[in-house]
């Protein structure tokens, strides 16, 4: 896709409420850390929300989760997207189920369009008994 869109944000949160009719969204429980009882840890389903603008045409949107300590990608979701014009806002809402964190550490959520980096957000996953 040329030009590649710009991410207006990348937020991890517990829920996203979508209002019928108006299509307004409300992000609930934005977080940057996960406390785990044991490992591997599968948290409850959560959301990643990213409004994008400035793109034009067809492209492939991908969200990846990388274990930064092991330098290993552990999860990804892919979807094609379409920007009819450069001022349209494409609001990408990922709902992640069964995103398994194999160990405590830092994890990077990266958003890509046609394999080009768009945005990233780091979270830390730590054991329940530890101090974050």
Residues binding another protein (CB under 8 A): 15-25, 51, 61, 63, 66, 68, 71-79, 81-82, 87-100, 110, 112, 115-117, 120
CA distance 18 to 7: 20
Least distance between another protein and beta carbon 105 (Å): 13
Which one, 70 or 130, has the nearer CB to another protein? 70
Which one, 87 or 130, has the nearer CB to another protein? 87
At residue 43's C-alpha, the angle toward residues 118 and 12, to 5°, is 30
CA dihedral of 97, 53, 66, 106, whole degrees rounded to 10: -90
Which one, 12 or 63, has the nearer CB to another protein? 63
What tokens were used for 16? 């996203």
Least distance between another protein and beta carbon 38 (Å): 18
* DSSP-assigned beta bridge partners for residue 57: 83
Which one, 108 or 126, has the nearer CB to another protein? 108
Residue 12 burial by CB count (10 A; 0-12/13-18/19+): exposed, middle or buried?
Answer: buried
CA distance 19 to 12: 19
Least distance between another protein and beta carbon 131 (Å): 26
């Amino acid at each position: 896709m040329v030009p590649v869109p710009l991410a207006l944000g990348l937020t991890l949160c517990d829920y996203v409420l979508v209002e019928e009719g108006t299509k307004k969204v409300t992000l609930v429980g934005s977080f940057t850390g996960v406390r785990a009882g044991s490992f591997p840890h599968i948290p409850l389903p959560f959301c990643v929300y990213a409004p994008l603008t400035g793109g034009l045409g067809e492209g492939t949107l991908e969200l990846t989760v990388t274990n930064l300590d092991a330098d290993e990608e552990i999860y990804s979701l892919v979807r094609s997207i379409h920007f009819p014009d450069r001022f349209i806002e494409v609001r990408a809402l990922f709902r992640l189920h069964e995103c398994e964190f194999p160990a405590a550490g830092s994890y990077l959520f990266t958003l890509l369009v046609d394999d080009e980096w768009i945005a990233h957000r780091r979270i830390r996953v730590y054991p329940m008994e530890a101090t974050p």
